[in-house]
Amino acid sequence: MPIKRKTPAKQATPKTRSAKIAGNGAGNGHSSSSRPLLTLEVSPSISPRNKITIPQFHGPVPPGFLHPGSAISVSHFTLEDVGSILEEASELEAMPAARRALRYAKRRVALLFYESSTRTRTSFELAAKSLGADTALVSALSSSIEKGESLKDTGITLRSLGAECIILRHPNSGAPYLLARSTGLPILNAGDGSHEHPSQALLDLRTILAHLPPSARSTAKRNHSIGDRALQGVTVTIVGDILHSRVARSNALLLPRLGARVIFCGPEVLLPECAAAIGPGVEIERDFERALKQSNVVMMLRIQKERLAGLEIDLEDYIEQYQLHMHRLAAHAPAAIVLHPGPVIRGLEITGEIADGPNSAIAEQVYHGSIIRMALLGRALDAHPKRNEQSSKNR
Lowest mean pLDDT, pick from 151-155, 247-251, 390-394:
390-394
pLDDT at 211: 95
Task: Please report which confidence band the pLDDT of residue 141 belongs to, taking 50, 70 and 90 as the band edges.
Answer: confident
Q: How far is CA 86 from the centre of its chain?
A: 17
What percentage of the chain reaches a pLDDT higher than 90?
70
112-132 mean pLDDT = 96
CA distances from 219 to 80, 230, 236, 272, 328 (A): 16, 9, 21, 38, 33
Alpha-carbon gap, residue 49 to 388, rounded angstroms: 28
Task: Please report which confidence band the pLDDT of residue 31 belongs to, taking 50, 70 and 90 as the band edges.
Answer: very low
Q: How many CB atoms lie within 10 A of CB 124?
A: 27
Task: Please report which confidence band the pLDDT of residue 395 belongs to, taking 50, 70 and 90 as the band edges.
Answer: low
Per-residue pLDDT reduced to its tens digit, 173-191: 999 999 999 999 999 999 9
pLDDT at 6: 53
Q: Is 307 exposed, middle or buried (0-12, 13-18, 19+ CB in 10 A)?
A: middle
222-247 mean pLDDT = 88
pLDDT at 18: 45
Q: Coil, strand, or helix at residue 33?
A: helix
Alpha-carbon gap, residue 383 to 155, rounded angstroms: 19
Q: Coil, strand, or helix at residue 341?
A: coil
pLDDT at 42: 43
Task: Specify whether domain 74-195+368-385 bears CATH 3.40.50.150.
Answer: no
HSE-up of residue 303 (Cα within 13 Å, Cβ side): 22
**Nearest 10 degrees: Cα torsion 373, 378, 379, 380:** 90
pLDDT at 248: 98
Q: How many CB atoms lie within 10 A of CB 88?
A: 18
Lowest mean pLDDT, pick from 98-107, 144-153, 305-314, 332-341:
305-314
Whether 348 has a pLDDT exceeding 90, the answer reads yes
- 236, 299 in Cβ contact below 8 A? yes
User: Which has the higher per-residue pLDDT, 289 or 224?
Assistant: 289
User: Which has the higher per-residue pLDDT, 214 or 76?
Assistant: 76
Nearest Cα neighbor of 286 from 234, 310, 331, 276 is 276
Please give the model's pTM, rounded to 2 decimal places: 0.83
Q: What is the CATH number of domain 212-360?
A: 3.40.50.1370
Alpha-carbon gap, residue 163 to 149, rounded angstroms: 18
Q: Does this chain's domain 74-195+368-385 share its CATH topology with 212-360?
A: yes
pLDDT at 63: 74
pLDDT at 8: 53
User: Which has the higher per-residue pLDDT, 310 or 328?
Assistant: 328
HSE-up of residue 374 (Cα within 13 Å, Cβ side): 26
Q: Coil, strand, or helix at residue 354?
A: helix
232-257 mean pLDDT = 97
- 246, 190 in Cβ contact below 8 A? no
Task: Please state the domain extents for the chain.
Answer: 74-195+368-385, 212-360
CA distances from 386 to 101, 105, 111, 181, 381 (A): 19, 13, 19, 18, 8
pLDDT at 311: 74
DSSP for residue 36:
P
pLDDT at 65: 83
DSSP for residue 275:
G
Q: How far is CA 227 from the centre of its chain?
A: 25
What percentage of the chain reaches a pLDDT higher than 70?
78
Q: Is 310 exposed, middle or buried (0-12, 13-18, 19+ CB in 10 A)?
A: exposed
- 203, 81 in Cβ contact below 8 A? no
Lowest mean pLDDT, pick from 20-34, 222-236, 329-343, 373-387:
20-34
Q: How big is the chain, counted in residues? A: 395
Whether 246 has a pLDDT exceeding 80, the answer reads yes
26-44 mean pLDDT = 42
Task: Please report which confidence band the pLDDT of residue 7 belongs to, taking 50, 70 and 90 as the band edges.
Answer: low
- Contacting residues for 72 by C-beta, under 8 A, at least 6 apart: 66, 176, 177, 180, 187, 189, 196, 198
Alpha-carbon gap, residue 249 to 243, rounded angstroms: 9
Give the dihedral sign, CA 340/344/346/349.
negative
pLDDT at 213: 80
Average pLDDT of every residue of the chain = 85
